[in-house]
Structure 1
Amino acid sequence: MLTINNLTYRIAGREILSNASVSVSAGHHAGLVGRNGAGKSTLLKLISGDLHQDSGTIDVPKSWRVGRLEQEMKDQSRSLIDCVLAADTERTALLHEADHATDPNRIAEIHARLTDIQAHSAESRAAEILAGLGFDGVAQLRPLSDFSGGWQMRVALAAQLFSAPDLMLLDEPTNHLDLEATLWLESYLKNYPGTILLVSHDRDLLNKVVNRTIHLSRGGMISYAGGYDDFENMRRLRMEQDMAMAAKVDAQRKHMQAFVDRFRYKASKARQAQSRLKMIAKLQPISLVADEKGINISFPQPEALAPPLITIDHVSVGYEPGKPILKNLDLRLDPDDRIALLGSNGNGKSTFIKLLAGRLEPMAGQMRKSNKLRVGYFAQHQTDELDLDATPIEVMARAAPDLLPDKRRAHLGRFGLGQDQANTKVAQLSGGEKARLLLALMSRQAPNILLLDEPSNHLDIDSRQALVEAINEFEGAVIIISHDPNLIELSADRLWLVKDGGVKAFDGDMDDYRRQIISERREKNRGEKKGALPEKASAPKLAAAHAGAAASGPKVEPKPVPAAKKVAVSPEKKKALSNAELAVNKLTQALDLIEAKLADPSLYNNGGTAELQTWQTKHAEVKKKLSAAEETWLELSAG
């Protein structure tokens, strides 16, 4: 069990954590939530030993290995697969020892240890994790130096997952992932046998991965059972109960004070009045759950323009002459469009947005824009372009010199940047505050269309909700790229899929897209025919093996086994996979039949309300069962 008692940590004299206590049992997955600056990342650094507390204790079992994301991969010349394999330091040390050992007894110990920790499957496990995070077989053999910082962070995450620590510390692990990789990670973490402390602002991830939520607020920590939605509901209920009790106590106090005020100077009632005063003094105030002030985000409303805003005819676009990323695009954007772009990273989503923003010119075809069109473009990498020595008000003055000072401050206020933040140097702002500054800059001219490329990175959950509300209140067009399914579902009413060099409308919602991803993975697994995936039991076995590493010494892996001889799928797993696939197929057929029935006009005639409700109920039930069956299949196939 991880135990934290009376933990206090200060930065420049300000208490970030104050006598905070919490415990997390072995095998539990705990989510750390709270406003930006509440101390979530600080707590992970204190647990990992990167920071040292001012007072209090952090007790981690001595046998536990603590894993955290490596911020910088050291050897850039290594292939991705080698970078991930190297994360298992026990394996690396034993491999070296195995090459030089001469004592027969020690050699036997090394190979016994290798068997215990399933070292023979190390390469296949590493490859499976990399594939889940978006690296195909060819990419896994390329050197790390070939990849940008965001992709290198994916490799670092793969290394952390592969090392299978007893306590995994994850700080915003989805920030550099696309939606497809996020869904894979969600499934992987959900089944992870070890203990997890997860800092995330992704509501879906918190709901599906964690079984305990720790809320950091005003220097303290309170633990709640369940995911984020459970936490919100319980916290709201606690607030309501505390407010009701506070009102009751306040009413008692007022009633007794009224008696005192009336009879204090009346001789016959003086003793009773003094008694009431003592009772008032004993009434303890109710400590209400802090109802933290929310962040407001509000985009200025644009001038109304006639449709279309942008027309694209047979356009191709890319970065190198003769090598378009996207080809033959035929699309149109209107003022009321709310569109989310789907597709794996590298397929061209950001390229498409840069085309709309005017950052890239068409290589072929024609793109026409409304004469008065103003475009607001947000990209997360723009934080690197901010002047760290300037304040937000200075940055805004340079970007909008025609605006009066009061107007500049008012515009920053639209994005939760009050007087204190507006006069603070950008270098000292939190990641969320920098993101809101970028939103303020891109919307300073009341654009007719918002182009948002991962706008929610570094925003806390409340700020993300404020962003959703701002998008829904905005009267112009919006194009969004996001790995946050919740943001997409609440703010987009159309989905476009960027894939195979094109951009096409996706006929369905996010649940349909999840099903498509699962189906594509299923077909891919069928076609690969390269041996079985690692057994689902391998992760728990690996974690258990590492727990006893101190007694057995470093771990070793034998020479790579030919692909045909790698770990085979057990008969039980084969049967479970077959049953899961059969269930998905049957439920899909049932859903098709029900939807065909619901599409029959006769069902809606002659007052058939009862029959209609019956079919609608069946539709909801089967859809729910299908979603569960698909998730089961995905978990089994992911191993």
Structure 2
Amino acid sequence: MASFVHERISPQACFSLLCQSAKGVDGITNIPTVDDDEYEIFDYISQIASNLAAQRNDLSITSWLAACAPYLNTIMDESDSEKVTEKFLKNISKLVEAADAESEDEDEHLNLCNIEFNLAYGGKILLHQTKLVLKRGHRYGLVGRNGAGKTTLMSAINNGKLEGWPKELKTYYVDSGSNVDNEWEEKNVLDFLKEGNEEKAATELLNKLKFTDVMVMNAIGELSGGWQMKLRLLRAVILHPDILLLDEPTNHLDKATVKWVTSYLTTLTDTTVITVSHDTPFMEELCTDIIHYEKRDGWTHNKLVNYKGRMSAFVEKQPQAKHYFELSTADLKFIFPQPGRLEGIRTSTQKFLELSNVDYTYPGNTAATLTDVNVKMTLSSRVAVIGANGAGKSTLIKMIVGDTKPSNEGKSQLWIHHNLRIAYVAQHSFHHVEQHYEHSPCDYIAWRFKDAYDREKFESQGYKITDEEKARTDDWGLEGIWSRRMKGGILEYEIKKRNVHEKNNKYFSKDELISLGFEKTVRQADEKIAAVDAGLDLRPVTTSEIQKHLDDFGLTQEFGTFGKIKGLSGGQKVKLVLAAAMWNCPHMIVMDEPTNYLDREALGALSAALNEYGGAVLMISHNKEFYSSVCTEEWFVEDGAVKKVGDSSEREMKAVAKKKTFEKEETAQEVLDSAGGNSNANGDKYKDAAQNFWGKSLAKKEIRNFAKAKAKGDVKAMRTILQVPMGKVMPGMEELGDGKDQ
């Protein structure tokens, strides 16, 4: 439907229809005049009716009874006022339909499409018998909650899959980057842009947006998220489609580039633009019309409803949609787990991370990306890393999370507490979850944390053991790191060598092991020990436990347990990525562009959760409204330098006990998998089974022998140590079997 107020729905026209509807009630037979008692009331109701008719969503008997009946009740019985209101609404609805049909006929020549269709995804009906009218040169904002099906609709338009879609229309889809395309990322930047135009024009566009010669000749996948989005938009400029589909086009973009995109799009006169974006100021500046997903009274499924005008005009007509302008948490709440205590950290202002005199130069480059970086973090830190695309923001946080290290090692210091647990939500974090497309979010988290530590992190650049390190492990005879201790202020690791009895294990300092070439092995051991320190080895990795965790991030059972990752919207994938990152009860959360794909309501929920969270926060964001709601400290990255602005004040310590406890779902024997021991050298570092079959506590030697037998898969030895009688299965040790086949 058209959404502007047509003159046929004026207050005067409504006044006449109200009089017709009231004829025969309490002696009202003619149109009231100024001298009649009913005139003032009828005139006021007509003003209300004209506004309601313009707001289309209010064409329901419930809304009209609430708006009109109280005034009619003053001049007629309540039962009569309800009848009059019902008649009045029917007459108004007919007038609205006629007015809309007339207005559509007036500019029919501008129509690109005028179709009615259904749309489903999997077994879910997204839109039912809905109408879509698109006019040439208009810029439409597609608005609806996360999961409503906005991206699905855009994809269907791009592929011409809607019923009655005009096949002659040329479309181009600029996706949000939430779906990873490895083939696209492997393409050369210039070659990709030349597809559809000559090299000279492509080169001019690349120069206009300051693509360097190195960037132009490299693969797309080597660009940051912001530069990849710029490239997608440049391709759209070249192809001149009839309909340009933009899915979160401002994702990763700095202010200057957003300004360029807005300026370019608003100059288009022949191209129709359809945009999905949670960047409300951008939508306010861009859109001439809003297409809204709505479910009115009597509608079983969502339909598309058009509103002419900017976002602000749409919100005036749809007050309940004001959350597009606010960081609201009215209907959604995220609950982050509080971090455990960090060994040796007693106040929220005591540092657990520090970079001093750090430089970083990308391999093959001569110019440094970062120079002389000096920053630190504490549990009180609430830091926003800001700056232009390509300034080095992501490079900085990758050093902090361990993916890279300073180029000037030996002349700089990068110190991170050995037991620090970090939740890292990377710029391209969807890449990981989408490797599990056919599995549910619960299955993904179970796979990732089934051994307590983060399996996905061990595959990252900063933690994956290289072939060279594996070779050194074999040459040196390293069997494993069994435990860790702090002695004389020096961190030492207990080393078990191959074919050497455990009583002859020796301790080596961290520096010694790194100098021997075992840096990634040490990092993995630290992660495993940190997981045990948090009690994650005791946390049940079951569907019910994981779903409870997903509920805290707004991902309900429908999507978390019974859905597949491939069916999640961009916003739902962000919720999954956040939930997975926070499974380890981290001391610090690091987020690279966290606002991408989240609607305003989810942004409000994220802001509130971060402010309640007891750990440190470090984020990269171009959304000042969002990051300023959380962060009091800014690290401004420009020309290789990092300038600190503001300060993170002391916060209340919210760290829970050293080990978090989890409710047991079964009465099974408590099983601890130390995965490298714990941080206390005097603790039961080999503990794997606490008691034998008869309930007697095991001696340390028995525990060690059990761990060795389990590592070898020697079930017979395991049963012997635990004294499990033939034919019996020990609760919680089902892998031991009943022994009858041994």
TM-score range relative to shorter protein: 0.5 to 0.7
| Distance of aligned partners of 1:146 and 1:40 in 2 relative to their CA distance in 1, 3 Å threshold | closer
Q: 1:87 aligns with which of 185, 192, 196?
A: 196
**2:625, 2:608 → 1: CA distance?**
12
**Does structure 2 retain, via aligned residues, the 8 Å contact 1:376–1:442?**
yes
Q: 1:296 aligns with which of 328, 333, 338?
A: 333
| Distance of aligned partners of 1:146 and 1:356 in 2 relative to their CA distance in 1, 3 Å threshold | closer
- What residue in structure 1 maps to residue 211 of structure 2? 135
- What residue in structure 1 maps to residue 574 of structure 2? 435
What SS does structure 1 have at the residue aligned with 2:133? strand
Q: 1:500 aligns with which of 629, 639, 646?
A: 639
**Does structure 1 retain, via aligned residues, the 8 Å contact 2:329–2:604?**
no
> Are 1:196 and 2:273 matched, yes or no?
yes
| Distance of aligned partners of 1:168 and 1:338 in 2 relative to their CA distance in 1, 3 Å threshold | same
> Are 1:219 and 2:302 matched, yes or no?
yes
Q: What is the letter of the counterpart of residue 396 of structure 2?
A: F
TM value normalised by structure 2: 0.50
| Distance of aligned partners of 1:391 and 1:23 in 2 relative to their CA distance in 1, 3 Å threshold | closer
- What residue in structure 2 maps to residue 576 of structure 1? none
Deviation digits for residues 215-274 of structure 1 (CA, Å, limit 9, x no counterpart): 1244311223344444344312699xxxxxxxxxxxxxxxxxxxxxxxxxxxxxxxxxxx
- Give 1:441 deviation, angstroms: 1.8
> Are 1:11 and 2:149 matched, yes or no?
no
Written as runs of structure 1 = structure 2, the 5 A alignment for 1:474-553 is 474-505=613-644
> Are 1:31 and 2:154 matched, yes or no?
no
**2:583, 2:186 → 1: CA distance?**
41
**2:384, 2:335 → 1: CA distance?**
20
**1:456, 1:356 → 2: CA distance?**
21
Written as runs of structure 1 = structure 2, the 5 A alignment for 1:484-633 is 484-505=623-644
**1:215, 1:205 → 2: CA distance?**
17
- What residue in structure 1 maps to residue 157 of structure 2? 47
**1:59, 1:461 → 2: CA distance?**
34
What SS does structure 1 have at the residue aligned with 2:425? strand
- What residue in structure 2 maps to residue 68 of structure 1? 173
| Distance of aligned partners of 1:172 and 1:79 in 2 relative to their CA distance in 1, 3 Å threshold | closer
What SS does structure 2 have at the residue aligned with 1:185? helix
| Distance of aligned partners of 1:233 and 1:297 in 2 relative to their CA distance in 1, 3 Å threshold | farther
- What residue in structure 1 maps to residue 348 of structure 2? 306
- What residue in structure 2 maps to residue 619 of structure 1? none
Aligned positions, number: 417
**1:144, 1:312 → 2: CA distance?**
31
**2:415, 2:228 → 1: CA distance?**
38
- What residue in structure 2 maps to residue 410 of structure 1? 548
Deviation digits for residues 450-507 of structure 1 (CA, Å, limit 9, x no counterpart): 1101223333333223222222332332111124444334333333222222211258
- What residue in structure 1 maps to residue 283 of structure 2? 206
Percent of aligned positions that are identical: 30
What SS does structure 2 have at the residue aligned with 1:205? helix
**1:443, 1:214 → 2: CA distance?**
35
| Distance of aligned partners of 1:226 and 1:490 in 2 relative to their CA distance in 1, 3 Å threshold | farther
- What residue in structure 1 maps to residue 231 of structure 2? 155
| Distance of aligned partners of 1:470 and 1:350 in 2 relative to their CA distance in 1, 3 Å threshold | same
Q: 1:337 aligns with which of 381, 386, 390?
A: 381
- Give 1:198 deviation, angstroms: 0.9
**1:5, 1:322 → 2: CA distance?**
54
What SS does structure 1 have at the residue aligned with 2:264? helix
TM value normalised by structure 1: 0.57
| Distance of aligned partners of 1:191 and 1:470 in 2 relative to their CA distance in 1, 3 Å threshold | farther
- Give 1:13 deviation, angstroms: 4.5
**Does structure 1 retain, via aligned residues, the 8 Å contact 2:329–2:605?**
no
- What residue in structure 2 maps to residue 355 of structure 1? 399
- What residue in structure 2 maps to residue 326 of structure 1? 370
Q: What is the letter of the counterpart of residue 208 of structure 1?
A: E
Gaps of 5+ in 1: 93-121, 240-290, 509-639
| Distance of aligned partners of 1:227 and 1:494 in 2 relative to their CA distance in 1, 3 Å threshold | farther
**Does structure 1 retain, via aligned residues, the 8 Å contact 2:147–2:568?**
no
| Distance of aligned partners of 1:371 and 1:142 in 2 relative to their CA distance in 1, 3 Å threshold | closer
Deviation digits for residues 341-385 of structure 1 (CA, Å, limit 9, x no counterpart): 122333321121122223333334113345664322111423322
Q: What is the letter of the counterpart of residue 538 of structure 2?
A: D
**1:232, 1:184 → 2: CA distance?**
26
- Give 1:312 deviation, angstroms: 2.1
| Distance of aligned partners of 1:78 and 1:408 in 2 relative to their CA distance in 1, 3 Å threshold | closer
| Distance of aligned partners of 1:293 and 1:3 in 2 relative to their CA distance in 1, 3 Å threshold | farther
- Give 1:414 deviation, angstroms: 0.8
- Give 1:294 deviation, angstroms: 4.1
> Are 1:396 and 2:473 matched, yes or no?
no
- What residue in structure 2 maps to residue 234 of structure 1? 317
Deviation digits for residues 130-189 of structure 1 (CA, Å, limit 9, x no counterpart): 3454514x3575365685595555323202123333432222223354454333323322
Deviation digits for residues 201-224 of structure 1 (CA, Å, limit 9, x no counterpart): 222321221122211244311223
Q: 2:260 aligns with which of 184, 198, 222?
A: 184
| Distance of aligned partners of 1:132 and 1:460 in 2 relative to their CA distance in 1, 3 Å threshold | farther
**2:207, 2:359 → 1: CA distance?**
29
| Distance of aligned partners of 1:462 and 1:132 in 2 relative to their CA distance in 1, 3 Å threshold | farther
**Does structure 1 retain, via aligned residues, the 8 Å contact 2:144–2:292?**
yes
Q: 2:560 aligns with which of 422, 433, 443?
A: 422
Q: What is the letter of the counterpart of residue 307 of structure 2?
A: Y
| Distance of aligned partners of 1:208 and 1:328 in 2 relative to their CA distance in 1, 3 Å threshold | same
**Does structure 1 retain, via aligned residues, the 8 Å contact 2:147–2:572?**
no
What SS does structure 2 have at the residue aligned with 1:444? helix
- What residue in structure 2 maps to residue 288 of structure 1? none
**1:349, 1:181 → 2: CA distance?**
17
**1:129, 1:32 → 2: CA distance?**
28
Quick check: 70-79 or 399-408, which moved more?
70-79
Gaps of 5+ in 2: 1-110, 176-180, 295-300, 323-327, 342-346, 453-536, 648-742
Q: What is the letter of the counterpart of residue 171 of structure 1?
A: D
| Distance of aligned partners of 1:147 and 1:445 in 2 relative to their CA distance in 1, 3 Å threshold | closer
User: Where is the helix percentage greater, Structure 1 or Structure 2?
Assistant: 1
Question: Larger Cα Rg: Structure 1 or Structure 2?
Answer: 2
| Distance of aligned partners of 1:19 and 1:201 in 2 relative to their CA distance in 1, 3 Å threshold | same
**1:160, 1:58 → 2: CA distance?**
21
| Distance of aligned partners of 1:4 and 1:17 in 2 relative to their CA distance in 1, 3 Å threshold | farther
Q: What is the letter of the counterpart of residue 425 of structure 2?
A: F
Q: What is the letter of the counterpart of residue 352 of structure 2?
A: L
Q: Structure with the greater relative contact order (CA < 8 A, sep ≥ 6): 1 or 2? A: 1
- What residue in structure 2 maps to residue 379 of structure 1? 426
Q: 1:20 aligns with which of 130, 148, 153?
A: 130
- Give 1:431 deviation, angstroms: 2.9
